[in-house]
Amino acid sequence: MTNTIKEVQNSECMFIIGSNTTENHPVIGAMMKQAKDKGAKLIVADPRRIELSNYADVYMQIEPGTNIALLNGMMNVIVEKKLYDKKYIDDRTENFEELVELVKEYTPERVAKICGINEEDIIKAATIYAKANSAGIYYAMGITQHSTGTHGVMSISNLALMCGNVGKEFGGVNPLRGQNNVQGACDMGGLPADLPGYQKVFKEEVVEKFEKAWGSTLSTKVGLTIPEILDGCEDDSIRFLYIMGENPMVSDPDINHVKKALTNVDFLVVQDIFLTETAQLADVILPASSFAEKDGTFTNTERRVQRVRKAIEPIGQSKPDWQIIMEIMNTLGYKKKYLNSSSIMEEIASVTPQYGGISYKRLEADPMGLQWPCLDENHPGTPILHKEAIARGRGLFMPCEYVKSAELPDKEYPFIFTTGRILYHYHTRSMTGRVEGLNILAPSSYVEINEITARKMDIKDGDLVKLSSRRGEIETTAKVTDIIDEEVLFMPFHYAEGAANYLTNTSLDAISKIPELKVAAVKMEKAKKIEEAL
Amino acid sequence: MKINIDNKSYEVANDSTILEVCKLLNIDIPTLCYDERLTPHSACRMCLVEVEGAKNLVTSCSTRVRDGMRVFTNNEKVRSARREVLDLLLSNHPMECLNCEKSGRCKLQNYAYEYDLVDGTFKGETRKGEIDSSNPFYIYDPEKCILCGLCVRVCDELQCSHAIGFEDRGFDTIVATPFREGLINSECVSCGNCVSVCPVGALVPKSLEKFRHWETKEVRTTCSYCGVGCQIDLKVKDDKVLGAQPAFDGVNQGLLCVKGKFAYKFISHPDRLKTPLIKKNGEFVEASWEEAYRLIRQKATNIKEESGADSFAGLTSARCTNEDNYLFQKLFRAVIGTNNVDHCARL
Amino acid sequence: MINMVIDGKKVKVSRDSTVLEAAKQVGIDIPALCYDKNLEIVAACRLCVVEIDGKNKLETSCSTKVREGMNVNTHSEKIDTVRKDVLQLLLDSHPNDCLTCQKAGECLLQKYAYEYDVNFVKHDGAMRPHLVDTSSPYILKDDSKCILCGKCVRTCSEVAERQVLAFADRGYDTRIVLDADQTLETSSCVSCNRCVTVCPVGALIDKRTLGKVRSWEGEKQVVKCKSCQYGCNFEVIKNRGKNIAVKAMEPTEGRPLCLRGRLTTEFINVDKPEKPFRKIDGKFEETSWTKALGLEEVMEKMELLKEDE
């Protein structure tokens, strides 16, 4: 997030696109509803009529995969009506003309057809957004998990820049990060091209710095992303795979492919707190401690670094992850020892400019933690990014054309299949699946089917249905609803039984390598009941 | 603006209530229905104070300070009015502190002690009602409810779910879902924010194990579910996590969702992995850490010799701490010698 | 060491322990109200009953010695029923006032009632008479809350020159008295607080903590009394940033506890200590701290020395 969570409550205008906030970031979702109660304007674009859409001034039920068309359409209206922030554009951005040129083609009339919505709603949404003194855009995987995900993000940034909303309180471009420490895992260099602090592995001065700090020789070759690693496991170019706290056997697209890869790899180490579907394929399983049993820090979606504190002793012989990794480093001949997680943070601060001023001492002193960039021990942290000036100097407009999703419905696979999360479960349910109450509230996998579609196909709520795509097939329970369009099917991906990811497409965004989990083509039929099958 | 409180003069900002001013000055005023995040309700009447010149005592939560105001927060008139309020509440409250789950964290109990009320003196009919235990995570006991309305207002104003409200009138009033269909059949999303604010034992979580509040310690930490980073206080007894309470001074401002509030229960689940496991002939066999490390070293050494560092890959975790992640990528880069490190940021 | 089985687990315990002590050694807590490891065993409360293989009756674990090969169960339906009955009987003649009782949070009767899910029930039967001795500024004695465990009598009798507390009357009328039924003020009680520290319920309360803080509030810090070489342990209770009271801890390892030590500890540690009292001819009289701590001569000498300078 360029801005902070606490601004949400006092927003003037919020545009939610591709985020089911009340289910996936419930506390932020509640704050959005509070803002609405206090008079904020709310614009929602989502293929499902999610809870927030009930409160919206404008709700646009767009077809999955058409975000960029919608955003370009809104910008078209803003340009036509001259509602953009001219002074801001002149002072702080570049390349506006090229954007104007591109969005000319995206008339509300054309966009309405692409997205399957009303022309008036596009105009109304654009007008509300542009006329607000400050307006924040909030998005999540509904924007990013497309083969055009990066372009989706750029289009959001174009819209925000055009109305002067970047670097402004209550405004900003605000991706809501899904997992507790996905921000931190990225910050810490859990990416194939980035050392901690997004310092590139192929830059000479960077590598030199880290070689000196770590006392070893580093590779300057950009590493492989998850999909490439899985391909490598299948073609034997990857022989040793170490998975910590992840469950790709449920979370990754095309599970049949994942299974082949993980079964084929020579040696698989899995470190986790439970025997997950992925751990079952391991050669060695290392028992890790849960968050309640260790010290450390998480970085939340607004870049806030906060303490995790040990509440109880590790269960059984389990150990905190950092300790296991350190012991493996030592066993492989690297002699560095860390006494505690605080001393690791000292090393992080010494090599990561954004974390330069972060220490456990400061985090203890302030219950609110610190927001990076926090450059040195006297730096107060940075609540709003790009406030004084855009980080790169000037904000660059990156015009992006709308491109259709990689796999579109056809005669054989007539439905658009899209996936997501629900309030009562978390990721692959390795934790929430072991909480009895949550299993009472959300016991098993289901697919949302529009009531008209269901009637046409003679499917009733609770019926067993069979879904298949070009990659696999599953059986699941029908949930007949009116919150989804007739040609769209939605499934939560949490459940290992009837897992949505047997069907999803591995097609990737060329830049970020994110899989297109939000759009696949599937067919549906009523599943035979067990007695009939016999 | 100058005001006088309990015969001491203070300079205060205008535009605040007497209660807010006193809070800043560390002057304790008892409240049952007040919550700084909500609009004042003036229902419980515990926060009554005397303002010189005013005919009656005023509720400090809803009365704004005026220049030259003289306030008495704790004189006998005020104390006896509060005692009256408590007496009425206690007269309609079950005497179950012996076994009440809230005992030790109950505001009614605390104030009864402070104002020296051993029991209610208005003995007559008491409120009757069925316990609603339909929700898997918490119960509502109308007999213990003091109708402060905090739960209703938190549900309305902060969680904005509007799942519960006051039903019936006068003596029979209870907090209930529309048409009394039960919590499980309502708009309730089990966030438990009502449970977190209930000052008495009317809304209490269903716990894994029985415990008394005075047997626990609280540990502030960050919730391990989504990226909001809510601050929570874990309740710990005998090395077990038995509850979670939202922090008011964190980003979440006293709010949580169903996962943060109740889904800590996985921590001590019997399925937790407790020893390293090595697969032998397709079966997992318990192993020592030394054995597991030895095997990893053997395999790593062989594979590195045969196929080089780039035949290694690691998936780090968006679930783990920064320190865990930092060391994980360092292991691959500085010790093994490859940049093949990625994680599920995109999922 | 001997081998035995407790709750199905094979354990090794020291040869001369009782079953209750043996269970404790292996981490099993058997509930008990009248048992105290520092006092003579009386097996009066019957809460600590257990099943021992080969015995028909339940046995009190506090008074039964372990034997090689003994097989003990500390929990069963039969045992729990007895314990519930014992607790119910006690609650039936106990006032329902945990709401404000000073002992709440530390009370063993409350602890076990919660564990065994036994509640107060309304009944028309007899209750213990509401006799409250408020004559002392140091100790409050509330007979209505007494469960007659006798710990106070036993701890008082351990100090030869004290032996103030004793049982009186019989049956349901049994009660604890001072000397020949005197009050705390008129008796020979020296306000040492030994009885207060062992009372499992709210029958004997340190009056100088009364109404100040609940057991679950505040922070507690253990300090040693500096009055004499015994160095008895006291808890200093801190609430909202202020040291508000001290509380004597159980007298162990020959430490006797005394009023002077208590007052000294209170004077040193409490931010605003209450006025001290001295008992003179069977009457409590307010006094100065100099007198209460026996420092008259010291203070006089100091004044003299100051004048000299």
Other beta carbons less than 10 A from residue C58's beta carbon: 18
- The overall longest dimension of chain A from CA atoms, in Å, is 72
Task: End-to-end CA distance of chain C: give it in Å, rounded.
Answer: 68
Picking from A219, A322, A426, the nearest residue to B324 by CB comes out as A322
pLDDT digits (tens, 9 = 90+) for A234-286: 999 999 999 999 999 999 889 999 999 999 999 999 999 999 999 999 999 99
The token pair that represents A523 in the structure block:
């067919």
CB spacing of B95 vs C96 below 8 angstroms: yes
Q: Is B296 on the interface with A (CB under 8 A)?
A: yes
Provide Rg for chain B, Cα atoms.
27
Smallest CA–CA distance from C114 into chain B, residue: B99
Q: Do chains C and B touch (3 or more CB pairs under 8 A)?
A: yes
Q: Look up the ipTM and state it.
A: 0.94
CA distances from B236 to A312, B217, B267, C184 (A): 7, 5, 12, 42
| Contact flag for B and A (3+ C-beta pairs < 8 Å) | yes
> Read out DSSP for A48-72?
B--GGGGG-SEEE-PPTT-HHHHHH
Give the 3-state secondary structure of C198-242.
Answer: HCCCCCEEECCCCCCCCCCCCEEEEEECCCCCCCCEEEEEEECCE
Domains and CATH numbers, chain A: 5-176 (3.40.228.10), 178-221+292-312+341-376 (3.40.50.740), 415-533 (2.40.40.20)
Helices A119-131 + A108-115 axis angle, to 10: 110
Q: Are strands A473-481 and A488-492 parallel, antiparallel or unpaired?
A: unpaired
Cβ of A287 within 8 Å of Cβ of B276? The answer is yes
Q: What is the pTM of this model?
A: 0.92
Residue A442 CA to residue A433 CA, distance in Å, equals 9
Q: Chain A closest CA to B166's CA: distance in Å?
A: 21
Structure tokens at C122: 């309304």
> Is position B327 within any domain?
yes
The distance of C206 to chain B (nearest Cα, Å) reads 16
Quote the pLDDT of residue A534: 52
| Rounded percentage of chain B residues whose pLDDT exceeds 90 | 87
Residue A499's nearest CA partner among A254, A276, A142 is: A254
The dihedral over CA atoms of A208, A213, A214, A216, expressed in degrees to the nearest 10, equals 40
The amino acid at residue A190 is: G
Among B74, B106, B137, the domain-final residue is: B74
> Do the chains contact at A226 and B346, CB–CB below 8 Å?
yes
B132: closest CA of chain A, how far (Å): 16
Question: What are the pLDDT digits (tens) for A7-22?
Answer: 999 999 999 999 999 9
Tell me whether A24 touches chain B (CB under 8 Å). Answer: yes
B18 inside domain = yes
Model confidence at C34: pLDDT above 80: yes
- Evaluate whether residue B334 is within a structural domain: yes
Which chain A residues have a beta carbon less than 8 Å from that of B305? none
**Cα(first)–Cα(last) distance of chain A, in Å?**
54
Beta bridge partners of B222: B231
Of B74, B108, B123, the one marking the end of a domain is B74
Dist. CA B174–CA B139, nearest whole Å = 14
Query: Do the Cβ atoms of B299 and B307 come closer than 8 Å?
Result: no
At A162, list the tokens: 């055009």
Q: Does residue C248 contact residue C222 with C-beta atoms inside 8 Å?
A: no
CB B312 within 8 A of CB A314: no
Nearest in space to B333 (alpha carbons), one of A357, A262, A200: A200
Distances (CA, A) of B56 to B53, B81, C152: 9, 11, 51
Q: Which two tokens stand for residue A32?
A: 């959005």
Identify the bridge partners of residue C177 per DSSP, sorted by sequence position.
C166
In 10 A of CB C115, how many CB atoms?
16
Burial of A465 (0-12, 13-18, 19+ CB in 10 A): buried
Distance CA A457, CA B97 (A): 59
Side-chain-facing half-sphere of A518: CA atoms under 13 Å: 28
Question: Is 90 exceeded by the pLDDT of residue B30?
Answer: yes
Q: Position A70: which residue type?
A: L
Domain boundary residue, one of B52, B74, B96: B74
Separation CA A289–CA A272 (nearest Å): 8
The strands making up B283-286's β-sheet, listed across from edge to edge, are: B283-286, B277-280, A284-287, A267-272, A240-244, B312-315, B341-342
pLDDT band at B80 (very low <50, low <70, confident <90, very high): very high
The dihedral formed by the CA atoms of A364, A366, A372 and A373, expressed in degrees to the nearest 10? -100
Between chains, do B95 and C120 touch, taking CB under 8 Å as contact? yes
In a domain? residue B341 = yes
Residue A523, beta-bridge partner list: A468
Q: Which of A369-378, B177-186, B317-326 has the lowest mean pLDDT?
A: B177-186
For residue A373, is the peptide bond before it cis, meaning its omega torsion is within 30 degrees of 0? yes
Distance CA A209, CA C17 (A): 66
Q: Taking phi first (over 0 means left), then psi (-120 to 50 degrees means alpha), and beta for anything else, what does residue A256 get?
A: alpha
pLDDT digits (tens, 9 = 90+) for A121-145: 999 999 999 999 999 999 999 999 9
Whether B225 contacts chain A with CB within 8 A: yes
Q: How many domains does chain B have?
A: 2
Report angle CA A489, A494, A498 to the nearest 5 degrees. Answer: 65
Instruction: Specify the DSSP element, H or E, that contains A396.
Output: strand A395-396
* Structure confidence at residue B27 (pLDDT): 95
Residue linked to tokens 């035995």: C4
Q: Is residue B83 a contact partner of residue B98, using CB atoms and an 8 Å limit?
A: no
Query: Which amino acid is residue C142, in one-letter code?
Result: D
Q: Which domain holds residue B23?
A: 2-74
Contact C195, C156 (CB under 8 A): yes
**Position B247 confidence tier, pLDDT thresholds 50, 70, 90:** very high
Is there a contact between A433 and A488 (Cβ–Cβ < 8 Å)? no
Q: Give dist(CA B43, CA B32) in Å, integer.
A: 9
Longest dimension (CA), chain B: 92
Closest in A266, A311, A434 to B271, CB measured: A434
**Residue B263 maps to a domain:** no
CA-based nearest residue to B92, from B51, B121, B69, B60: B121
Question: Are B276 and A317 inside 8 Å of each other by CB?
Answer: yes
CA distance linking residue C283 with residue C184, whole number of Å: 10
Closest CA to A511 of A3, A124, A149: A149
- Identify the segments of chain A with pLDDT beneath 50: none
Q: How far apart are CA A56 and CA A53, in angstroms?
A: 5
Question: Are B116 and C211 within 8 A, CB to CB?
Answer: yes
In chain B, which residues touch C (CB < 8 A)? 90, 95-99, 103-104, 109-110, 112-113, 116-119, 210, 212-214
Contact A284 B296 (CB under 8 A): yes
CATH number, residue B45: 3.10.20.740
CA distance A178 to C214: 43
CA distance B259 to chain A (A): 7
**Residue A367, helix vs strand vs coil:** coil
Domains in chain C, CATH or no CATH each: 2-89 (3.10.20.740), 130-207 (3.30.70.20)
Task: Supply φ then ψ for residue B267, to 5 degrees.
Answer: -55, -50
- Angle between helices A226-234 and A255-264 in degrees, nearest 10: 60
Query: Residues near A57 by Cβ (< 8 Å), separated by ≥ 6?
Result: A41, A42, A43, A124, A128
- List pLDDT tens digits, range C272-299: 999 999 999 999 999 999 999 989 999 9
Contacts of residue B239, defined as CB under 8 A and 6 or more positions apart, other chains included, come to A312, A313
Q: Do residues B212 and B104 touch, judged by C-beta distance below 8 A?
A: yes
